[in-house]
Structure 1
């Protein structure tokens, strides 16, 4: 059992990151902590895709390289996802700054109370 877990440690780490990130997004009322949780969740997804793309003994898909080949598609998708994740984080933090200027707090519950009073 231990040998099986050691050989699958990257899957375990990716699922731990997914779980921890989901918990941070759901369990925290602070908006900045929610964005941090979203980034941890994204990192878990990135790790999972990279781990599933690994082929033992494979080579890059070049004409002179022997088979089996590694598919470059997951790596390209992850690079694109990283750019989208950075952009999403920047927009979210910009909105959080604007929310703080308007309401004076980053606590989601306090913002709901203030908006329900208006």
Structure 2
């Protein structure tokens, strides 16, 4: 199962890099979301895939009974999902504001502060 998830992570990272290399800012954002999901999946898989019970400790015990899932990667991934969603929402609003101010989503056309020279393509 880990090998299948490793292939899925590789495909997600490859698609994310392809989208992030585009000159369109919206495609860059979608690539950012994909690479964030690939990182979350990597953290989740690194914790180990165990078909066990939830990591709950019975009353009166000091440790879980039997084989349980690792709670740390689950907590890290949950936190990363929330942070990634906040970053995506902020970047999407920033992109919308840039589009309304500049009228384009292409990074080459967003050269407001740079002077246009004769040697520019």
- Aligned CA RMSD, in angstroms, stands at 2.0
Unaligned runs of 5+ in 1: 1-5
CA distance in structure 1 between the partners assigned to 2:53 and 2:71 by the alignment: 11
Please report the TM-score for the alignment, with normalisation by the length of structure 2: 0.79
2:113 is matched with: 115
Q: Residue 46 in 1 paired to residue 46 in 2?
A: no
1:34 is matched with: 28
Unaligned runs of 5+ in 2: 59-63, 117-121
CA distance in structure 2 between the partners assigned to 1:20 and 1:106 by the alignment: 20
Structure label with greater radius of gyration: 2
CA distance in structure 1 between the partners assigned to 2:2 and 2:43 by the alignment: 17
Q: Deviations over 1:75-116 (max 9, x none)?
A: 11111111111110111011111111111100001112x432
Deviation at 1:58, TM superposition (A): 4.1
